[in-house]
Amino acid sequence: MSVRNGPAGSRIQSVETVYLTPWFQIESRVCEGYEQPYYVMTTPDYVTVLPITEDGRVLFVTQYRPALDSQTIELPSGHVDPGETPEQAARRELREETGAEAVQLTALGQLSTDTGRMNNRLWTFVAAVREVGPPEPGIELRSIPFASLPQMIAAGKLQHASDLALIAQALANGALKLTW
C-alpha cells in the first residue's frame, strides 16, 4: 500500500492505495470536510468510437459481459494503453473490435466516466470507416442503419451509458445529424 499527500491547494489531504489489480486500483482519500475516507476507483482512460460506414450504417459489437452476465450491444471501445494517445487507442480498438479502418477520425472531446467514484476520462470519437477484416474472436459485428438509432435507444437495446453519452455529444456539437 502506498500513501501520498494530496496536491498543493487541494482538499485532499492524503491518498492511500488500498487495493491494486492489473486493471484498476482503489484509493482511500482523506479529504478536508469529510468525516470518513472517500474511495475512488482509478482505471486507465478509455476511448469509445462511433463508426459510420459509407452507406450510413453504424458498426456495433455484441459481446458477453461478465459484470452483467449477458450479451450487450456496444460501440467499439477500450483502454488507452501506456504510451498511446487517445487517437491511437481509438484506431486500434476500432480495428480490433470491428475489423474496420478509420478513413476519417474526429475527436469530440472527453467525458468523466463517473464523477462520484472514478477519476479516469473517456475520449470520444466519430469515425468514417471502411470495413477491411473480421472482428477479434468473441465479438460479433453488427451493422445497423444509422436511422435506427432512436428506436434502438427508445427500446432499451443500447444500454451502455458511455455509448449514449457519445451519441448525445455528437448530436449536440453537430457531428451527427439525426431525426428523432
pLDDT, tens digit, 9 for 90 and up, residues 136-173: 888 999 999 988 988 999 999 998 999 999 999 998 88
| Opening angle at CA 68, ends 151 and 150, nearest 5 | 10
Domain encompassing residue 10: 3-42
DSSP symbol at 118: B
Q: Do 24 and 59 belong to one domain?
A: no
Same-domain status, 31 and 61: no
pTM score = 0.87
pLDDT tens-digit readout, 110-138: 999 899 999 999 999 999 999 888 888 88
Structural domain count of the chain = 2
* pLDDT higher than 70, residue 6: no
Is 107 in a helix, a strand, or coil? strand
**Mean pLDDT value across residues 46-68:** 93
Q: Are residues 52 and 128 in the same domain?
A: yes
> Minimal CA–CA distance to 49: which of 83, 85, 92?
92
